Structure 1
Amino acid sequence: RILKEQQLYPYHLQRVQSLLIRDFLPRVVFCQWLINMIGQAPQFLRNILFTDEANFSRDCIRNFRNNHIWAEENPHDFFEGNHQYQFSLNVWLGIIDDHLIGPYFLPRRLDGDSYCHLLEELPIILEEVPIQIRQRLWFMHDGAPAHFSIRARRHLDEVYANRWIGRGGYVNWPARSPDLNPLDFCIWGYLKSLIYSRPVEDINDLRNRIVAGCETIKNSPGIFERIRNSMRTRVDACIEAEGNHFQHFL
């Protein structure tokens, strides 16, 4: 009561990617480039194939404070964690226009060769995307070691020439910037909330839940438009923050 009278309210701290001082300028440069491209073509964000990988294990990091069971009596339910038998799946996803691409399941250890194999499969993976979108596609990935392999960069230079974003690309992707990637700031969290609503039984169950969760996201009305709006807001906020953290202002 005293806190309310003093107009003090509880707020949760946000967990963010650590940044180095040298990261600030590349983040601003990228955001300014993106705003310039949007100025020339207002629908430019629809042309970018944002991509990312994530690992899904048997035990997800869960926020137990948000896992409540409502009942007239305490059901004494519980959640099993830290299983002795562990398993996991590496998953690649992409977003372009109003399409969620994937899931594409990756090897346990992603190296330059296995990643380049994925890149070579992209024309097949993207078949569901209308041809007019594919013709003006910009490819984006972050600076992970497998992405920076000579083979992967050579492939992207040959296929996308001056239309790819990444470390060593035509447009540089700023390091440590998951806050600017829709897969990181939206999709992975949403997908994991769908997958881990109940304990995972085995690796096949995990795989099936990932596929089903992606279908749920694909059929979520308006989600891709909201992501594009959030992306534009984040780009503006990043410039306003001079490349520093900005999520607490959103």
Structure 2
Amino acid sequence: MNSISLDLLVFMKSKDFQNLVLSKYQSGDGLTKLFRDFNGLIGLRTIERWCKNIRDTGSINLSSPPGCHRIIRTKGVIQKVKNRLEHRKPVSSRKAARELGISRTSARRILKNDLGLRAYKIQREPLLTNEHKEKRMRFANWIRTNFRKENTMKILFSDEMFDIDGIYNSQNDRIWAVNRLAADTNGGIRQKRKFPQKVMVWLAVCSKGVSPLVIFKDGTVDHDRYIKEVLPVALKFGHDAFGADWAFQQDGAKSHIHAKLQEWCEKHFPCFIDKDHWPPSSPDLNPLDYCIWDELAHQVNWDAVTSKTTLINEVKRAVRKVSLDVVFESCSSWTTRLYRLPEVKGNYLR
């Protein structure tokens, strides 16, 4: 048998191929000729393996599949995945698969189908003491007592953005759990005490829109620089938006609580939420933190950011694209968030 018809080959079964290879090899055909005769329907490595079996055993013995032993979703493997989550909770399906020596598909099926879990991103929030929680609830009561809803829509919220030169990538940082509450209980929240970087940009928002952006290209921002470069921008924007009837908000950063700066704010702003009222460690009460910074970050073309200069240009472009509807909604929902504080006993709002 010197050649094989292609029409015949396509109707042959695997066992037929093996018998034919056995016959031709025992008749003296070499590996290359066998490969050519089968017109590529059998790979050269497969032919080599079959011929080795013939030399070793006199037949093509394929009672067990080649390669590594195939692992399926057995009770033992499922228990290994479960034990892995109990000992070290944050893990991606890819990492779990690699550590346990199974495919990622098998890992995901075990996590979802066998264990009934879903992946949740790890959330980060400030560390709140009991004193912080008490101050947060007192602030909510103070706002309820002294501000009508229409007055809260005339608050100019301000904030500085830290670590703008990148966004934390938590795509592969997951907690597998049956729901969000279970994810939070099992390590789905990472608390932080403060931002790790210097101030780079300042922004303010209100129900009427977004203020001009103030960028600090270098150096630190103390109270003198803040008074000189930031507060006049806030004052002009607030007056342009609301006239003489509005309030200014800032958090309790070190430069903000300086006596000289507090005095400036009391003197120039129509109304000012001072350091004695705004609660510490409360970015969840500022629309910029719980909404606008994220909106701005999504408008940045991060692929175009290759240097500090391109980053600044992208941030300037992105701030002009922030949706005014999103800004209005975030300011409008502020009192709703605030009034939830007594319900959650002053804990962080998510």
Greater relative contact order structure (CA < 8 Å, 6+ sep): 1
Equivalent-residue separation in structure 2 for 1:205 and 1:137 (angstroms): 35
Calculate the aligned-residue CA RMSD, in Å.
Answer: 2.6
Give the gaps of 5 or more residues in structure 1: 67-87
1:166 is aligned to 274
Equivalent-residue separation in structure 1 for 2:120 and 2:172 (angstroms): 14
1:215 is aligned to 320
In the TM superposition, what are the counterparts of 1:95-114 in structure 2 within 5 Å? 95-106=205-216, 107-114=218-225
Give the counterpart letter for 1:112 in structure 2: H
The answer as to 2:227 corresponding to 1:122 is no
2:160 is aligned to 53
The answer as to 2:170 corresponding to 1:63 is yes
Give the counterpart letter for 2:343 in structure 1: E
Computing the radius of gyration over CA atoms, which structure comes out larger, 1 or 2?
A: 2
Which of 190, 193, 197 in structure 1 is aligned with 2:295? 190
Deviation string 1:78-99 (CA, Å, 9 cap, x unpaired) is xxxxxxxxxx971110012221
Equivalent-residue separation in structure 2 for 1:221 and 1:157 (angstroms): 29
TM-score when scaled to structure 2?
0.55
2:250 is aligned to 141
Deviation string 1:31-74 (CA, Å, 9 cap, x unpaired) is 12223345xx33222110100001355444333449xxxxxxxx
Distance 1:245 1:186, change over 3 A: same
Equivalent-residue separation in structure 2 for 1:139 and 1:50 (angstroms): 6
The answer as to 2:286 corresponding to 1:175 is no
Equivalent pairs counted in the alignment come to: 215
Distance 1:111 1:239, change over 3 A: same
Give the gaps of 5 or more residues in structure 2: 1-108, 174-197
1:226 is aligned to 329
Equivalent-residue separation in structure 1 for 2:125 and 2:151 (angstroms): 27
Deviation string 1:139-194 (CA, Å, 9 cap, x unpaired) is 11011111111210110121236x211314xxx10000001011111111222232
Cα contact 2:156–2:238 (8 A) shared by 1:
no
Equivalent-residue separation in structure 1 for 2:329 and 2:114 (angstroms): 36
Determine what percentage of the aligned residue pairs are the same residue.
Answer: 24
Equivalent-residue separation in structure 1 for 2:233 and 2:203 (angstroms): 13
Distance 1:208 1:175, change over 3 A: same
SS of the residue 1:142 aligns to: coil
Equivalent-residue separation in structure 1 for 2:164 and 2:120 (angstroms): 30
Give the counterpart letter for 1:165 in structure 2: I
Equivalent-residue separation in structure 1 for 2:162 and 2:212 (angstroms): 14
Distance 1:5 1:234, change over 3 A: farther
TM-score when scaled to structure 1?
0.75
